[in-house]
Amino acid sequence: MLLMCYNNPAMTIIHNFAAFEGGDGSGTTTQLELLRKRFAGPGLPPFHAASEPTGGPIGVLIRRVLKGETALLPETAARLFAADRNEHLYGPGGILERCGRGELVVSDRYTPSSLVYQGIACGEELPASLNASFPLPELLIFFDLDSETALKRIASRPGRDIYEYLDFQIQVRTRYKALLPGYEEAGVRVERIDASLPPGEIAELVWRAVRKMPILEGMGAKN
């Protein structure tokens, strides 16, 4: 697999930034909301919960593609994901601006999702080149769940995205596992969490990982 090689010494890490990753149905959105509620307590830094695709105009188009409402070539979708991410990072109120002023930003999906999902849909080279210059998160949490269980979780949803079927999700899990060591080699702290555990237990494991971030040192975040 080509996937992506993070051996570029110029590659930067965004401090105060974490990303949640995992296959569909792995619970990333649920855990981000639980983490947001925890940060409503006293003694903690400002917290911003983000997601990709974003709520911006490019992200809205991507969500229509994911729902099957708009048909685009996989290569076009890969370029849209990268454009949406560029706005998410560098646009007004984006990740870099918020992290630079001392906020903790956690995003439900970031570059690994493109390398995995678009890597399956249109081949590895294009997503790798489109995402090669994006900076890395300080922390990456991977929610690991077998694909059969994940699809059972999302079976009650009113509709499925174009990627939410078993064969594709099996590939997703395999590719995530192959991709994560490259992030670790680049200096990203990667935490793997068993997403089959009850949500409350997972939330505590997430908090244990997040509270090790330097931004939380000395701010009453040790419990």
d(CA 118, CA 62): 12
Q: Give pTM, 2 decimals.
A: 0.92
- For residue 222, being part of any structural domain is answered with no
In-domain check, residue 163 = yes
Q: Which of 26-40, 114-128, 206-220 has the lowest mean pLDDT?
A: 206-220
User: Does residue 58 lie within any of the structural domains?
Assistant: yes
Q: Pairing relation of β-strands 104-108 and 136-144?
A: unpaired
Residue 2 lies in a domain: no
pLDDT above 70 (res 88): yes
- Contact in structure between 128 and 2 (CB atoms under 8 Å): yes
Do the Cβ atoms of 3 and 114 come closer than 8 Å? no
Q: Per the domain annotation, does 83 fall within a domain?
A: yes
Residues in Cβ contact with 22 at an 8 Å cutoff, skipping those fewer than 6 apart: 28, 142, 143, 144, 145, 176, 195
Angle at 164 between CA 196 and CA 110, to 5 degrees: 75
Beta bridge partners of 20: 108, 141
**Could you tell me where the DSSP H helices lie in the chain?**
28-38, 57-66, 74-90, 95-100, 111-113, 119-122, 125-131, 147-153, 166-185, 199-210
Average pLDDT over the chain reads: 92
User: Given this model, what pLDDT does residue 115 score?
Assistant: 97
Q: Any bridge partners for residue 137, and if so which?
A: 14
pLDDT score recorded for residue 219: 64
pLDDT tens, 150-163? Answer: 999 888 777 788 89
Residue 146: domain span: 13-216
Report the CATH number at residue 36. Answer: 3.40.50.300
Q: What is the pLDDT of residues 97-130, one digit of tens each?
A: 999 999 999 999 999 999 999 999 999 999 999 9
Cα–Cα distance, 149 to 89 (Å, whole number): 33
Structure tokens belonging to residue 166: 């078993």
b/e map of 30-53 (b: 16 or more CB within 10 Å)? bbbebbeebbeeeebeebbbbbbb
Q: Which pLDDT does position 111 carry in this prediction?
A: 97
Q: What is the pLDDT of residue 223?
A: 55
Using CA atoms, how far apart are residues 200 and 210, in angstroms rounded to an integer?
Answer: 15
**Structural domain contains residue 69:** yes
Q: Between 43 and 177, whose confidence is greater?
A: 177
Domain count within the chain: 1
The answer to whether position 46 is within a domain reads: yes
Q: Is the peptide bond before 158 cis (omega within 30 degrees of 0)?
A: no
Confirm whether 125 is domain-assigned. Answer: yes
